[in-house]
Amino acid sequence: MKILFYDTKKYDRQSFEQTLEKFPEVSIDFTSSDLDPITASLAQGYDAVCAFVSSDVSAPTLEVLHQLGVGLVLMRCAGFNNVDMEVAEKYGIQVMRVPGYSPEAVAEHAMALALACNRRIHKAYVRVRENDFSLNGLMGMNFYQKTAGIIGTGKIGAAMCRICHGFGMRVIAYDIYENPDLKSFVEYVSLEQLLSDSDVISLHCPLMDSTRHMINKNTISQMKDGVIFVNTSRGALVKTQDLIDGIRMRKFAGVGLDVYEEETDNVFEDRSDEILEHSTTARLLSFPNVVITSHQGFFTKEALEAIAHTTLQNAMDYKSGVVKPF
Ligand code: NAD
């Protein structure tokens, strides 16, 4: 099985090359180009392509892959909102992903963001480096005995519920399905109640038509003043302009974002002044109570090993005709 691996970073190559030792029937060529309708033509002669959240796996890309006889798209991530699943099915291209690798990696990062913006760690860090030991503007609140509202209690949301419970917080949650594993310490409530009762709100549901812009002017207005809001899920769950308006109106004590709407524009990789000047992400960065990281929630040693292992196992399963639930 020959795989063309798109958008290769040094750490991807390391973890996949190490794991390849256990999969002697698989060979991988790595390219730094990301998958799109133009670079798809590089996949000539390959059985599969390996893509990521930033890849463009839309209809035109899938059309090229189909023409080249590529039958498998291996997503080395959980999310697949960048894949046109209908078109993949039409062409008989199998899409496989890594539904869960290390939910704790993302949940721990969500808590890190919540704590960082609550206690202004980002400001304190810079201040102390400048030899300024003043505490002005750094006051936070205790999380102990506060209410954490978790939206989406699948693998990552459940891990976040456990972390918040460990902090001594009351944990409430909203999901379209209740997770039976959490029943002993999580209270399921309506979205409205979660928004109005929570001191810390963390998003852990997937991006779908029904969840796009679920955090908007209306839902923000239902939140408590002084709430801490964290999104490690997908940028487009939040209507960024409405979030900016909410920050300006001092709704939030802190906002922690690992994902943002403009991510697919590679706003940070380009670093073009023109894009940054006009981007809503750049405007978010200008607020002192906002902490933004670069989609790094998944980025732990354990998670990378698990991603490589599941992706290569997916390739072998495809080869031997094992049908896995998506
Ligand atoms: P999961 O499928 O295990 O859980 C998602 C949960 O969301 C499910 O319980 C589902 O019922 C719930 N849900 C669906 N629609 C909902 C709605 N309208 N309202 C409330 N809940 C709803 O997924 P997961 O592994 O926990 O991942 C969650 C998300 O985290 C992923 O979709 C992905 O976008 C994101 N993610 C981010 C990173 C990162 O590095 N920041 C890494 C992996 C995943």
Distance CA 137, CA 155 (A): 35
Output the residue whose Cα is nearest ligand 1's atom 30.
233
**287 closest CA partner among 262, 253, 319, 317:** 253
55 close to 28: Cβ distance less than 8 angstroms: no
Q: Which residues line ligand 1 (CB under 6 A)?
A: 78-79, 100, 103, 106, 151-157, 174-177, 204-207, 210-211, 232-234, 258-259, 295, 297-298
Residue 144 backbone phi and psi in degrees, to 5:
-50, 125
pLDDT tens, residue order, the chain (326 aa): 999 999 999 999 999 999 999 999 999 999 999 999 999 999 999 999 999 988 999 999 999 999 999 999 999 998 898 999 999 999 999 999 998 889 999 999 999 999 999 999 999 999 999 999 999 999 999 999 999 999 999 999 999 999 999 999 999 999 999 999 999 999 999 999 999 999 999 999 999 999 999 999 999 999 999 999 999 999 999 999 999 999 999 999 999 999 998 775 444 444 444 445 558 888 999 999 999 999 999 999 999 999 999 999 999 999 998 877 67
pLDDT of residue 69: 97
Distance CA 5, CA 16 (A): 10
pLDDT of residue 267: 40
Residue 300 backbone phi and psi in degrees, to 5:
-125, 160
Put the strands of the sheet holding 48-51 in their side by side order: 27-30, 2-5, 48-51, 72-75, 94-96
Output the residue whose Cα is nearest ligand 1's atom 9.
154
pLDDT of residue 322: 82
Residue 88: which residues within 8 A CB-CB, separation 6 or more?
Answer: 57, 62, 73, 94, 95
Mutating to test ligand 1, I would choose from 81, 102, 106 the residue with most ligand atoms within 8 A of its C-beta, which is 106
- Residues with catalytic roles: 234, 263, 295
**Atom of ligand 1 minimally distant from the CA of 258:** 41
Query: Left, alpha or beta for 53 (phi > 0: left; psi -120 to 50: alpha)?
Result: alpha
Burial of 32 (C-beta count, 10 Å sphere; 0-12/13-18/19+): exposed
Distance CA 107, CA 159 (A): 6
Residue 108: which residues within 8 A CB-CB, separation 6 or more?
Answer: 159, 163
**Atom of ligand 1 minimally distant from the CA of 179:** 9
